[in-house]
Structure 1
Amino acid sequence: MFALATLIWGTVAFLVGIIVALELAAPSVNMGFDLITFGRLRPLHTNAAIFAFAGNAIFTAVYYSTQRLCRARMWSDKLSRLHFWGWQLIILSAALTLPFGITQGKEYAELEWPIDIAIAVVWVGFFGVNFFMTLATRRERHMYVTLWFYIATIVTVALLHVFNNLVVPIGLFKSYSIYAGVQDAFMQWWYGHNAVAFFLTTPFLGLMYYFLPKAANRPIYSYKLSILHFWSLVFLYIWAGPHHLHYTALPQWASTLGMLFSIMLWMPSWGGMINGLLTLRGVWQKVTSDPVLKFFVVGITFYGMSTFEGPVLSIKSVNALSHYTDWTIAHVHAGALGWNGFMTFGMLYWLLPRLFQTQLYSTKLANLHFWLGTVGILLYIFPIYVAGLTQGLMWRAITETGQLAYPNFVETVRVLIPLYWIRVTGGLVYLSGSLLLGYNFFQTWKTRPAVYEEVVHSAPPLERHYDDDPAPKSDLTGVLEIAKSIDVFEKLNWHRRWERLPRVMTIWVIISVVVASLFEIIPTFLIRSNVPTIATVTPYTPLELAGRDIYVAEGCYNCHSQMIRPILSETKRYGEYSKPGEFVYDHPFQWGSRRIGPDLAREGGQRSNLWHLIHFRDPALMTNGSIMPPYQWLEQRTLNFKTIPDRVWAASYLGAPYTRALDDSIAMAKEQAKAIADDIEKQKGPSGLEDKQVIALIAYMQRLGTDIYKTPAAPKKTESTEPPPAADKTAQK
């Protein structure tokens, strides 16, 4: 069931990814339809690829390998079924909410709080309990390395998911993160980076350690190397998240620490790659004819490439160039399509004959799938690597006179369009390969026997008491006692004992993850100097708060950043660099991770209200060459003022010092909306817009980045909930 779900959701994820890529190359593909704009579809694509495709692949591997490694059936068939159907319903919920703008606005954590609760119940209550109870009732005392990686995955993903998704709900489909600004950014990338680590890496390494030796009919190359690989990843990975936030408002010590641990991850990751590839020693001739081994070899190679490139991208000087560019997108897709995709395809081709007790329908089609997939990946990632380098270099280019060589952001966009078309072609080739897998899957299923042979394997229950082998002694002579102790330690008998004790193994994983997390989280949250107070920064007005929620719902953070780094080219292009204290009322933070469009951190006051109105209606009319889709429906849909008091209450609960707005938020919002609508009408724009969604969004856009240019008022006269005055243009210049 999980194998079939993997195939179906993988095809969906690839198809949605192609549509998203096509919208960058040809924005008119959107046809002005709000449900399929880039900002709404991109989260659907990422969630489908990660949680639907990779997630079901993980469960396929876990359910198949765990029972055989434990010599025991899964503890509860009922929990297994609840897990399967629960997870599919979660995926369907994502597909039915994200296109409608129901989102938390945080990458890889977009799903709203009811779905988050469902994920926690299914992951921990159904999947986790079933797995750990199977370990407890296993009939094989020794736990193979694959099970270690599964333990780390289940425990760590649960911790990451719960603590990153703590929110204050204001309705069934809306909530605000309890974290704000710098702290929210830290928590998000603590989660985001380690979701890649413990959802897209460790379970697939468990898959590798089980299915690769099976396919090659060879034992894993090095048991000692597998121990080093596992514990190094568990101890190091959790520290590395902050490297995603170099040169942002995050404290430099945190991002530097993330960089150091990212660099340290390189060698153990390559140790795992080497362990996998050297498992094939003596059987490399089989790789030429066996499509399963082909997929595994290339998949492991992509793992090595990604785990080398990741540490390189974490280096500050490299990150200054690569961040916000398509280089990061290429890196992510190389890992997802090459590592996760190919390991999944290899596993499925190995499983099909065994699940259906027949021969694979066509090895030739499987080999063709391999070549289509390989060519598709290369066509997909190479143009995006070029696009990323092009963006980074053009954005940073400075003339001999000290001015920006390409002052108009759209100049870079125009250059990238041919590269986006090549990317679409690569995606189509990759998708065609997965369709071949689907055909092979179906035809293999059709040739299954009328009645499956039920092969029963039995093993006696484990005895409750077990006497460990005597501790080994050192064979060294004429050396210090400490040298003998090291020699005994290196024999790893102590680890062999752990491998018989799932509780001990789990506790050490939890300790490793929690200690590393708290070491970074506690200083970030408790040291006030990390987020210095700015006297002129005040909460959003009720209308701006509603406008910000529209910004989040439309997925604008997928294309725009709100973080100006202290880099010359950025301050020249966008203005004063961003300060930590500017974001204390941002729930969630909206710094973004990609610039398909320009940064918006200092957008407030830069353009007229009418300009923004026309820009939302037809972006290309205001910026020739823009690939932003039109948002004309914002001008047509009525703003629900009745929901504003709940938004204001939640913001107040989270620390915003509102006074009048708590009791009079609707009147204040309507007053500010009328002022903006009147201003648009005075500029010969349309009339009657004071109750439209676009007015709220314009109010939010005009507020961005203006607080730091205001003159601090006397404390007794400060009114934090009134609409802010226009930005001081002299200060901006």
Structure 2
Amino acid sequence: MTPDRTTDATAQGDERSPAAGALERFTYDDAIVRLFLVATMAWGLVAFLAGLFIALQLVRPELSFGLEFLTFGRLRPLHTNAAIFAFAGNGIFAAIYYSTPRLCKAAMWSPKLSRFHFWGWQAIIVAAAITLPLGISQSKEYAELEWPIDIAIAVVWVAFGINFMMTLVKRRERHMYVALWFYIATIVTVAVLHIFNNLVVPAGMFKSYSIYAGVQDAFMQWWYGHNAVAFFLTTPFLGLMYYFLPKAAGRPVFSYRLSIIHFWSLVFIYIWAGPHHLHYTATPEWAMTLGMVFSLMLWMPSWGGMINGLLTLRGAWHKVTTDPVLKFFVVAITFYGMSTFEGPLLSIKAVNSLSHYTDWTIAHVHSGALGWNGFMTFGMIYWLAPRLFQTNGLYSTKLATMHFWFATVGILLYIVSIYVAGITQGLMWRALTPEGQLAYPDFVETTQRIMPFYWIRVLGGLMFIVGAVFMIYNLLRTWSMRPKEYAIEVHEAPALSSSFREEVAPAPTISGVTDYAQRMSVWSTLWWHRRWERLPMRFTVFTTLAVVAASLFEIIPTFTIRADVPRIATVGPYTPLELVGRDLYVGEGCYNCHSQQIRPMLAETKRYGEYSKPGESIYDHPFQWGSRRIGPDLAREGGKQSVQWHVLHFQNPLDVTPGSIMPSYGHLIERDLDYTSIPLRMRAMQVLGVPYLDADIEGGVDAAKAQADALAAAFLEQNGAPLVVDGKPVDLSKKRVIAVIAYLERLGRDLTLEAEVATGDAAQGGE
């Protein structure tokens, strides 16, 4: 098949109208690109170091040094937010602010909005870096930041979107190049995802509750979580690929038609696939099946994009051997193909039954985030640096090549070791003896088995960071070679004319067939798409409709699911002390290590108890099902351990569970519990429909203190003496730990009550 490759001019949207007027002069604002480039490098190093530190904590939990700000549960969201929104985010913005003006032959519409975007985004990152270690978190994957920061994100994003769209309106190029399509999809979809997933009721400046609960919240979160990956870590990087790869290779995009199919199928199909994150959970079967089917359909557009990228290098492969930029791009696109093959694979229920909650998912995420996003960003930075700093080239091509090999070997060590760890976990968790009993009943047996792989991950991460340090040094030396003053190049282009050539359908190329077949053959040439490409507002509307139409098939059922969840008579709202304990659990990030969702599988029910029901979590704002098991599931934790066990476990987990990698949570024992905030928390939950009466709220503090006193008394009875810390006895009824224990003791007890009620009713019937 002969590829329908376009010329360089057409590929870049460089179509001149014969009726164009006088030339207009303009310049590009490369200063804003330099700012985003520096931020990308700086925050990237922070994200990588944070990842290395928490990877070390999984083999040496004492590295939290007993400080609450350094525990894995609090730092893991910091690492993910830094990697996604700080490193990848700033890289995306650098790409957009460089390529958009050049594709539009127009400066960005508002330099002030550009700077507002930059400084606002950095302020948001700093706010995340402060609040997450402090335990201020919504606990929703990739959306942990609390409501004041969410509002700031929305404001900054809108400013960015306005600046971008107005630049399209004021452009001097008639047709929008493919990279711009992907930027439009990113801006529109991220706004929709962010707003709907972060609808909350505040309970103070640093606390809020999701308006969704349980099954409904899980459904909404993974509509967001999956598509945050799709439209923040995929579509903008595809736009980046479509712009920078042809530039670096000196070749046009392989296929214009394939880029059209790639774009529209990806935008429409991706949005449906979120429920595959919830296989075998308490979500409806139809939702899981829907997510799986559309995930499998994603193979086609995803690999279409990969093929389009790799075949763009036809005739330029010889450059890959000498150009580190192309090395990074080729490996990035290869990782994109691997990740987008593996994602649908993991959505198949049989595969997911093994992989879910294991480190297999972690390996998959990092192959995409570091392999695809990271390498694409590195390649772009190396290509941009000499142009932005106006030097004759990089300080050292050899250093860039060393970075490539360190990063490549590092990421391979990382993901291969964690793939093995994840598969080992899944197999050990489900292993049964010939007698039908668990082969490895103690969870910590699995933890200890995978320790060697965790050490290999540390080595891989360290190599990746060494490569990043090479890059930073190389770029600093390149920057030092800059001229005293940057030259500002003035460009010229005519304004768009009101007269232009209308698109005309080509003549049919087939004969001897029906008129319908001929019309279809003409339509399949996609000639009509050229008209859309010169109408940015209409193109944006069509993109929005594609995203919203697909989303509504998930969002509308999401809003009706809550009413359809079967109620369990014995499931009631949390007591005041349990509620504040749950909030502390959320703030500590315990969901990063412990799930609260027992799947309906023999091995899981044998290990943890009765499988989870939809009606159990109707008062959980937000849900806490988790996505990973570094520690055991806690859905049935209530009644399994004594209060004494819990207290000693928080103080030093190794004392009660040899081989545990849980850090000490001694700060829960040392820090006082804030009883005064309880009424405000209960009032916010009441607004959300939790059946707290006004009298319950007014007596909330007294009820919480009474329950705390009872639990503290139980500890004294079990321990035989007060807990002593630093030579002083501790009144546990005043400490945070007692609230967390109250919450843990509640987990799963409602079903026990149901069983007791049923047993009692049967006994009465027998009489």
> For this structure pair, what is the TM-score category when the shorter chain's length is used for normalisation?
over 0.9
Matched residue of 2:203: which SS?
A: strand
Alpha-carbon displacement from aligned partner over 1:318-375 (angstroms, at most 9, x marks no partner): 0000000000000000001100000000000000111111121000000000000001
Which of 444, 451, 472 does residue 478 from structure 2 map onto?
A: 444
**Could you tell me which residue of structure 1 aligns to residue 299 of structure 2?**
266
Q: Which residue of 2 aligns with 1:278?
A: 311
Deviation, 1:524, is: 3.2
SS in 1 for 2:156: helix
Question: Of the candidates 681, 687, 703, which is equivalent to residue 668 of structure 1?
Answer: 703
Shift of 1:477: 2.7
Residue number among 152, 162, 174 corresponding to 2:207 in the alignment:
174
In structure 2, C-alpha distance between the alignment counterparts of 1:372 and 1:176, rounded to whole Å: 44
Q: What is the Cα deviation at residue 568 of structure 1?
A: 0.6
- CA-based RMSD of the aligned residues comes to 1.2
State whether structure 2 residue 712 is matched by structure 1 residue 677: yes
Measure the CA separation in 2 of the matches of 1:442 and 1:464.
47
Q: Deviations over 1:517-557 (max 9, x none)?
A: 11122223315674111111000000000000010010000
Q: Which residue of the other structure, out of 652, 655, 672, is the alignment partner of 1:621?
A: 655
What's 1:291 paired with? 324
Tell whether 2:152 aligns with 1:109: no
SS of the counterpart of 2:733?
coil
Conservation of the 8 A alpha-carbon contact between 2:215 and 2:561: no
Task: Provide the residue aligned with 1:135 in structure 2.
Answer: 168
Aligned counterparts of 1:91 and 1:528: Cα–Cα separation in 2: 34
Are the equivalent residues in 2 in contact too, given 1:530–1:580 (CA < 8 A)? no
The whole-number CA distance in structure 2 between the counterparts of 1:277 and 1:254 is: 35
Provide the rounded CA distance (Å) in 2 between the counterparts of 1:323 and 1:410: 18
| AA partner of residue 249 (structure 1) | A
Aligned partners of 2:44 and 2:86 also within 8 Å: yes
The equivalent of 2:58 in structure 1 is: 24
Q: Is the 8 A contact 2:321 2:327 kept in 1?
A: yes
C-alpha separation between the residues in 2 aligned to 1:228 and 1:433? 36
Instruction: Tell me the alpha carbon deviations over residues 97-127 of structure 1, each in whole angstroms, 9 at most, x when there is no partner.
Output: 0000000011100000000000000011x11
2: CA distance, partners of 1:154 / 1:691: 48
Match of 1:700 among 732, 743, 762: 743
> Given that residues 569 and 754 in structure 2 are in contact (C-alpha distance below 8 angstroms), is that contact kept between their aligned partners in structure 1?
no
- Per the alignment, residue 570 of structure 1 pairs with 604
Structure 1 stretch displaced more, 683-692 or 336-345: 683-692
Partner Cα separation in structure 1 for residue 282 and residue 703 of structure 2 = 31
Task: Check conservation: 2:576, 2:703, Cα contact below 8 A.
Answer: yes
Identify the residue that residue 256 of structure 2 maps to in structure 1.
Answer: 223
Aligned partner of 1:245 among 278, 282, 288? 278
Partner of 1:344: 377
Q: How does 1:150-161 map to 2 (within 5 A)?
A: 150-161=183-194
TM-score, length of structure 2 as denominator length? 0.92
In structure 2, C-alpha distance between the alignment counterparts of 1:543 and 1:384, rounded to whole Å: 39
User: How far does residue 303 in structure 1 lie from its aligned partner after superposition?
Assistant: 0.2
Deviation (angstroms), 1:464: 3.7
Q: How does 1:446-485 map to 2 (within 5 A)?
A: 446-485=480-519
What is aligned with 2:678?
644
Q: CA deviation at 1:493?
A: 1.5
Q: Secondary structure at the match of 2:699?
A: helix
1:587 alignment partner, SS class: coil
1:231 aligned counterpart, secondary structure: helix
Runs of 4+ in 1 over 3 A off after TM superposition: 464-467, 527-530, 711-714
- Aligned equivalents of 2:441, 2:721: Cα separation in 1: 29
The alignment status of 1:67 with 2:101, answered yes or no, reads yes
* 1:189 partnered with 2:222: yes
Match of 1:372 among 374, 397, 406: 406
Letter in 2 for 1:444: T
Query: Residue type matched to 1:71 in 2?
Result: K
SS of match in other structure, 1:163: helix
Tell me the distance in 1 between the aligned counterparts of 2:499 and 2:437.
Answer: 76
The answer for unaligned runs of 5 or more in structure 2 is: 1-34, 723-729, 758-767
Secondary structure of 2:202's counterpart equals: strand
- 2:534 is aligned with what amino acid? R
Letter in 2 for 1:433: G
Q: Which runs of 5+ in 1 are unaligned?
A: 715-733
* Contact map agreement 2:417 2:457 (CA 8 A) in 1: yes
In structure 2, how many angstroms separate the alpha carbons of the residues matched to 1:521 and 1:118?
Answer: 24
Deviations 1:376-415 (A, max 9, x none): 1011111100100000000000000000000000000011
Mapped to 1, the partners of 2:609 and 2:603 lie a distance apart of 10
1:496 maps to what in 2?
530
Structure 1 distance, partners of 2:250, 2:509, is 34
Q: Are 1:120 and 2:154 matched, yes or no?
A: yes
For residue 126 of structure 2, what is the aligned residue in structure 1? 92
2:432 counterpart SS class: coil
Give the letter aligned to residue 191 of structure 1.
Y
Tell me, yes or no, if the aligned pair for 1:536 and 1:712 is still in contact at 8 Å: no
Conserved? CA contact 2:180–2:239, under 8 Å: yes
Q: How many residues get paired?
A: 713
1:516 paired residue number = 550
Distance in 1 (alpha carbons) for counterparts of 2:511 and 2:449: 70
